[in-house]
């Protein structure tokens, strides 16, 4: 794979506290691999869905619509078997899962993008915003309440331990709450070493210190996806 000697990758992890490593807390699977219906109902999932502003009922509905699985059901059902079966023993954890949600604002990503990243991130990992900067670029000095990002970058679930993940492209601007997050060089496998993006699809134009109203996880201005593709 080509190496970009004048560039380096930055990983922005808004749901991983700055005192933790990517091994300490992560999105995990309850099956041989990760997937929309195979994600474990842990605290990290609650934070990730809260950041994306996907309510728990909405996530349940997406799983049922796309996989035919009712996550809160205490009864065995679905068409998968063996290690891929639905686990009714997880139903109490699903019912107890806390997911903050603000009904006054939209989701950060569309329903089809949520399904895409969950279904294709093979081993789970971290909700990440990733892209390249110039090799000599210096991130704002931490701590910072928020980071303002512009350019064309990737948002999705990345496993920096195993070197896997799946993302969707974001064109535009995004200011991200970083009070409970971290940013820096990838802790493990760089995502671009795994996926080898065309640099025009993997480049921050700017990363700067930002501010957000109290209680706001992000503010976004995104180029419409069809326009970006054109």
Domain coordinates of the chain in residue numbers? 1-22+124-230, 28-120
Confidence at residue 4, expressed as pLDDT on a 0 to 100 scale: 61
Question: What are the residue ranges in the chain where pLDDT is below 50?
Answer: 1-2, 228-230
Q: Residue 110 — left, alpha, or beta (φ > 0 → left; ψ -120 to 50 → alpha)?
A: beta
Q: Residue 46 — left, alpha, or beta (φ > 0 → left; ψ -120 to 50 → alpha)?
A: alpha
Q: How far is CA 156 from the centre of its chain?
A: 4
Confidence at residue 158, expressed as pLDDT on a 0 to 100 scale: 96
* Longest CA–CA separation in the chain, Å: 55
Q: E strands, 82-184, where?
A: 126-134, 146-159, 164-177, 182-184
Confidence at residue 202, expressed as pLDDT on a 0 to 100 scale: 85
Confidence at residue 198, expressed as pLDDT on a 0 to 100 scale: 75
Respond yes or no on whether the N-terminal peptide bond of residue 143 is cis (omega within 30° of 0): yes
Confidence at residue 226, expressed as pLDDT on a 0 to 100 scale: 59
Give the span between the Cα atoms of 143 and 47, in whole angstroms: 20
- Neighbouring-strand partners of residue 132: 9, 203
Give the span between the Cα atoms of 161 and 118, in whole angstroms: 17
Confidence at residue 163, expressed as pLDDT on a 0 to 100 scale: 92
Confidence at residue 229, expressed as pLDDT on a 0 to 100 scale: 47
Cα separation values, 26 from 16, 95, 141, Å: 8, 20, 25
Note whether 50 and 100 are within 8 A (CB): yes
Give the span between the Cα atoms of 227 and 230, in whole angstroms: 5
DSSP assigned state of 64: H
**Residue 40: closest CA among 71, 69, 66:** 71
């Amino acid at each position: 794979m080509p190496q970009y000697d004048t560039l380096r990758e930055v990983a922005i992890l808004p749901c991983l506290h700055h005192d933790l490593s990517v091994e300490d807390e992560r999105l995990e699977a309850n099956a041989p691999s990760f997937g929309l219906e195979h994600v474990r109902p842990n605290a990290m999932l609650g934070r990730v869905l809260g950041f994306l502003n996907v309510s728990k009922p909405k996530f349940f509905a997406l799983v049922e619509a796309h996989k035919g699985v009712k996550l809160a059901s205490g009864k065995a059902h679905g068409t998968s078997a063996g290690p891929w079966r639905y686990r009714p023993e997880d139903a109490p954890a699903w019912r107890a899962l806390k997911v903050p949600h603000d009904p006054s604002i939209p989701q950060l990503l569309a329903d089809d993008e949520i399904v895409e990243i969950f279904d294709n991130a093979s081993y789970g990992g971290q909700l990440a915003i990733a892209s390249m900067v110039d090799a000599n670029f210096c991130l704002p000095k931490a701590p910072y309440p928020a980071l303002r990002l512009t350019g064309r970058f990737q948002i999705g679930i990345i496993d920096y331990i195993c070197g896997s993940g799946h993302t969707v492209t974001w064109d535009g601007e995004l200011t991200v709450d970083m009070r409970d997050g971290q940013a820096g060089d990838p802790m493990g496998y760089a995502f671009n070493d795994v996926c080898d993006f065309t640099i025009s699809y993997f480049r921050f134009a700017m990363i700067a210190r930002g501010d957000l109203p109290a209680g706001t996880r992000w503010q976004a201005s995104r180029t419409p996806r069809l326009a970006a593709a054109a």
